[in-house]
Amino acid sequence: MPLIQRGALLQQQQSKAQLSVIIPTRNEPLIQVLVDQVHRAFSYIDHEIIVVDKSDRLPILKDARVIQQHSTGLGRAILEGVAMAQTEWVAVMDGDFSHQPRDLALMFAGIGRRDFVLGSRYASGGRNLDIPVRRLASRAFNMIARLILGLNFSDPMSGLILAKTTVFQRVRPNPIGFKINLEVIFRATRLGFRGGEVPITFVARRLGKKQGWSPRGGKNALLHSRPSSSKMKSMTTFRPHLPETSGPLIAGTLLIILLSDGFPTLF
């Protein structure tokens, strides 16, 4: 039975919280500061923060549920967090301040009738303040992913997502690697879920070391995705635009495999 469904069966009591913010971490020196900022950003609603940690030593955090990751990989860490969530909505964000809590709060405030919302560095009003080489690689791989998967989103690989818990339950992602959101977005649109995006500001991490990316993880994330005012005013709703056949998808995925070997941490 999939991890998310197992978690749902274990959770018989409904939580008063509306939102679970899931933060996968590994040796993040500023995680408590981030937790505090998330609480301030969502002070107007009932919420919870779930930190799924694979550090050398499990951190002791105030006002957050900390669970030790038992699986391997960032994508699996996210699934462990979603399995623990008892709320209608779940959000996933990085633990290194690349994603801003205020942007996530704007996404939640403007969700409307959408089933999921992405944070976009490239929507009108968005910014990517990462180092130049990573900005260039991010643009390139986003373009390739959009073309391959037929996604009408400007930034399906930002890593910041807010979705109904039922989206994860219906999609039943099976990530190999760390680009789980790409799989969720692709499969959710195929299932008819309504998605949108909000411009965000993405910044380079403050302290610590960027978690590594393996070429195999990046390749498999795409292989598994193939077929088988202000910022709130800038939110856009999209309808699915899907490839008719898998031939171009497979060919494009092979191209990404060849390209991605040279960019081990640049997404």
CA 21 from chain center: how many Å? 11
pLDDT at 118 over 60: yes
CA distances from 228 to 131, 150, 164, 246 (A): 37, 15, 23, 9
Confidence band for 14, pLDDT divided at 50, 70 and 90: very low
Residue 232 burial (CB count, 10 A): 14
pLDDT at 28 over 90: yes
Q: Give the residue, 236 or 118, on which the prediction is more confident.
A: 118
Q: pLDDT tens digits for 121-139?
A: 999 999 999 989 989 998 9
Q: Is 162 helix (H, G, I), strand (E, B) or coil?
A: strand
**Could you report how far apart the first and last alpha carbons of the chain are, in Å?**
31
Q: pLDDT tens digits for 175-231?
A: 765 578 889 999 999 999 999 999 999 998 765 555 444 444 444 444 444 434 444
Beta pairing partners, 202: 128
Judged by average pLDDT, the poorest of 29-33, 70-74, 170-174, 235-239 is 235-239
pLDDT at 242 over 60: no
- The predicted pLDDT at position 177 comes to 58
Question: DSSP character for 100?
Answer: -
- Report how far residue 238's alpha carbon sits from residue 196's, in angstroms, rounded to the nearest whole number: 6
Across 152-166, average pLDDT: 95
**pLDDT averaged over every residue in the chain:** 79
Q: What is the pTM of this model?
A: 0.76
Question: Which residue intervals of the chain are DSSP H helices?
Answer: 3-10, 31-41, 74-84, 101-109, 132-149, 165-171, 180-190, 215-223, 247-260
Question: Hey, what long-range contacts does 43-48 have (CB within 8 A, 24 or more apart)?
Answer: 45/18, 45/19, 45/108, 46/16, 46/17, 46/18, 46/19, 47/17, 47/18, 47/19, 47/20, 47/21, 47/87, 48/15, 48/17, 48/19, 48/20, 48/21, 48/85, 48/86, 48/87
* List of domains in the chain: 3-260 (3.90.550.10)
Q: pLDDT tens digits for 72-115?
A: 889 999 999 999 999 999 999 999 999 999 999 999 998 999 99
- Tell me which range, 151-160, 218-227, 231-240, is most confidently predicted by mean pLDDT: 151-160
Work out the burial of residue 223: count CB atoms within 10 Å of its CB; fewer than 13 is exposed, 13-18 middle, 19 or more buried: middle
- The predicted pLDDT at position 248 comes to 44
Question: DSSP character for 225?
Answer: T
What share of the chain in percent tops pLDDT 70? 70
- Report how far residue 24's alpha carbon sits from residue 75's, in angstroms, rounded to the nearest whole number: 9
